[in-house]
Structure 1
């Protein structure tokens, strides 16, 4: 009996020793793993610092061995593993570039370097940061193409790279980022067509891509984005006629007004601010009633079509009305909201009553400039005819009844015809319209 007790006691102690040894080994292995990861993060941060060539605010002065790297300026670590999960250095006047070792910060969730002077390419190693949720790089000097393997950042919610020097096409692989809510690409030199795969970004709220070199069609797939609030493609190679008639799916801008029409260096007009824009079902000119119920305000007072004020559906006819008002404002110098327009008088009726006989009386005085011979350039018969035609187009476009308005395809053809006639007319010393 005694031998059995001794045996059981020995067995128990051996078993306890086994599990204690195993636990100790596990603890040592875990500690070793943590140390290894910590050292990887520390070295990656030091390499980041080494590539910063200018730090006038001494933001990185705390990045030395006197402090643990989790206490360095702009660095935040996770509590459990003491791994870097946030690198936040905005508005720091830092100059430099990134190294591939940035991809070793495998626990990184936030990388925010906006409003600095970082340059060179956005490294494809960033695509290895599968935990990354926020990538803020706007207002720097990053160049090259957007890495296609950013699709590896499966948890990415915000990607802001506006106001840099990015070139090339937007990689279609970005369409796989199911959690992406904000995509800011504005103020770059991106080109080509907008990839249809962006229509797969089911969580997308903001797509800002103004002031690039995009061309071609706006993908119909963007019409599937149910959560989208802002789509901005201003100052690209797009026009109202293109939006209505030449894209894969008709689009209505819904807010044409002077501040949303911008001129480039060659005085070519570009439509901007697509915050209220809506896609229409293919082959139609308006939305169904159930689609318009959530749109709310449709345009700006003075430029919004009168039927919108009565709850009518969004349509291409509404954009035509706004375009007509813009045309009349540009050539008369009078806004539709000027004090003179009250009661029954509006800009449309003001111009309609003056053409054709009194066309010179309503033209913006700035256009009535004298040539070298002391004659006003607009006095020539051909130019007056052109003005009458232009005002006629503006009046027709801004008709109260949508059915009486000209479609943008015809408007474009008519204006091009007028332009060609004016440019072909010899007017020595006169200013071209």
Structure 2
């Protein structure tokens, strides 16, 4: 036996000393149960243990020093129990720890310096809600790759360690509810990745550092209930007043008007005003007004420039945790599942207090390539903004209740689901689920717009890499949005040629069978012509309602060849039959028969135009394919001709 996972149950009783016999055990997770008693000292004999979760139980006593024998331990979670006494310094022997959770206990004394010598700590060090005291050790500067540090609600005193500035990877730092004093050290300006900083409820004093203005990733700052004084900065992050808390600092002044702080007045200026003649006072006041106007304009311009550096903060929605997403999706219930892809599942959820309707894409990290897909999608989504691309709300990169890595992307929910579900409804009720000719044209143009934007208007350009109907989503107005950038590639040095041969590689491209460009099978990397090919196949599928993987396509017959054989004389024989039922005449007289033939001719002309574009986009040779700028123009022309002819 190498693993025991009994978490999230109602198991009671004590941990049996007989566990010492499980010498090959690598994982023991028993979190969220009702275990009592102590951790047996013999647990230190399980030398192969890498994961130990005993959090959220009723365990008590001291943390055994024998845990220091578990030198292979990666993650240790003991929070939310009733442990007392000191943190054993022997834990410093666990030099492979990435996660250490000791919060919400009754631990006392100082933090052992040995703990802060575990340089592999990278995910989270949580010592919050204990009775730890004394100065916080300066050795914290060793944790240079740590992302989250929470030592809130303890009894730490002294100044904030200046060495915290060496923790350059910190994104979340929570020091609230202690007795830290002195000023905020200048070294914290080195925390360039910081997102959340909470220094509230301490005895800190001095001025608020201006360098906070330039922390471009900062999303939340809490300095409340301290003794800060002086002028509050007004630029950069401080323009986002809803994410700043300064309550309980009575000597602060200035800031933006929304903060409702008193204005700052210099005593010297008051004295000088009383002694100066009125004419001089008027001149000074006039100069101040003029200079203030210039300062205001200059400040607005600087704010505008700085806002471009924090585009990822456009959506004012708080970072979400695993617990919040779990709650939003009813514990990732199957009844909430709305889709499944190569790298995970998509759930419908109601997020936050307002119940925002969202789609949560949970990455299956056990799937090979899933983590890379998650990274690719994040990299692509942070630089794109277009009405025909799915809007991302936030990202969750955390741990689940078992301590395993958890990654998810939270998107705006699309009420009308995917194009695939409209083209191939499971119930096959065409009268309910079929799309009209003009609706298909509009969707095709929306998708073309999105790909044209990625190819020609993004800096640098982006190749989507997996264009297909299930990745085209429809909002409440039936506007198409392209999603799923898991295979996207940012072309930082794209040579601006129409052929990808110069980028040949032995790397095997993953995509979806039927939509992958043929040159990818020969080792060529992702390219713009490859996206054009996928769009061409999608276009043919939209109007023929046949998947490129349909059983009819065999022995060399592809959806491209199928359309090519019928083009142009027999186009009406291969398109979706419901498109031919849109003729508006219904009376069987001579006049209406003429109208019927005219309208059928208009529909045929439209379909010939669309299929011609689909065929040109899905040519076998990349150099023969259209570019997306031409595709957009041609589709627009087809739609304009169709609409004007019908009028």
Q: Is residue 398 from structure 1 mapped to residue 618 from structure 2 by the alignment?
A: yes
Change (3 A) 1:388 1:373: same
Alignment partner of 1:77 is 2:248: no
Q: What does 1:191-340 align with in structure 2 at a 5 Å threshold? A: 207=378, 214-215=385-386, 239-280=450-491, 281-285=493-497, 292-294=505-507, 296-340=508-552
Secondary structure of the residue that 1:248 maps to in structure 2? coil
Bigger relative contact order, structure 1 or 2 (CA pairs below 8 A, ≥6 apart): 1
Q: Per-residue CA shift, 1:211-238, capped at 9, x if unaligned?
A: 999449x9xxxxxxxxxx9999998997
SS in structure 2 at match of 1:327: helix
Shift of the 293–357 alpha-carbon distance from structure 1 to 2, 3 Å rule, reads same
Give the Å deviation of 1:284: 2.6
The answer as to 2:561 corresponding to 1:349 is yes
Measured in 2, the distance between the counterparts of 1:418 and 1:406 equals: 16
Separation of aligned partners in 1, 2:608 and 2:568: 6
CA distance, structure 1, for counterparts of residue 312 and residue 605 of structure 2: 52
Q: What whole-Å deviation, never above 9, does each CA across 1:195-214 have from its counterpart, x for those lacking one?
A: xxxxxxxx967628979994
In the other structure, the counterpart of 2:580 is: 368
Q: Secondary structure at the match of 1:127?
A: strand
The one-character-per-residue Cα deviations of 1:120-168 (angstroms, maximum 9, x if unpaired) are xxxx9942279xxxxxxxxxxxxxxxx9634889xxxxxxxxxxxx9xx
List per-residue Cα deviations over 1:267-312 (Å, max 9, x = no partner): 2211110011101214435778788555x33321100001111112
Contact preservation (8 Å) 1:233, 1:273: no
Q: Distance in 1 between matches of 2:409 and 2:564?
A: 36
CA distance in 1, matches of 2:462, 2:219: 29
**Contact 1:359–1:387 (CA under 8 A) maintained in structure 2:** yes
Per-residue CA deviation, residues 393-415 of structure 1 (Å, 9 max, x unaligned), is 10111111111101111001000
Structure 1, unmatched stretches of 5+, are 1-59, 63-68, 89-101, 112-123, 131-146, 154-165, 176-181, 191-202, 219-228, 428-433
Cα 1:148/1:252, change in 2 over 3 Å: closer
With the length of structure 1 as denominator, give the TM-score of the two structures.
0.50
Q: Under a length normalisation based on structure 2, what TM-score does the superposition of the two structures give? A: 0.35
Please state how far the C-alpha of 1:365 moved relative to its aligned partner: 1.4
Q: Which residue matches 2:197?
A: 127
CA deviation map 1:357-390 (0-9, x unaligned): 1111011012222545338799532221111011
Give the structure 2 partner of residue 13 of structure 1: none
Q: Kindly tell me: are residues 82 and 387 of structure 1, through their superposed partners in 2, closer, same or farther at Cα, counting changes over 3 Å?
A: farther
Whether 1:149 and 2:360 are equivalent positions in the alignment is no
| Separation of aligned partners in 2, 1:210 and 1:398 | 27
User: Is the alpha carbon distance of 1:149 and 1:279 closer, same or farther for their aligned partners in structure 2, counting shifts above 3 Å?
Assistant: closer
Deviations 1:65-120 (A, max 9, x none): xxxx9548x993375659993789xxxxxxxxxxxxx9955899999xxxxxxxxx
Q: Unpaired segments of 5 or more residues in structure 2?
A: 1-55, 59-78, 83-100, 112-124, 130-149, 157-169, 174-193, 201-215, 223-242, 244-306, 314-319, 326-345, 359-373, 390-406, 415-445, 587-592
Q: What RMSD in Å do the two structures reach over aligned CA positions?
A: 5.4
Give distance in 2, aligned partners of 1:377 and 1:86.
79
TM-superposition CA deviations, 1:321-354 (whole Å, max 9, x none): 1000000000001111001100121110111111
Whether the 8 Å CA contact 2:103–2:128 is kept in 1: the answer is yes
SS of the equivalent of 1:76 reads coil
> Cα distance, 1:313 vs. partner?
2.7
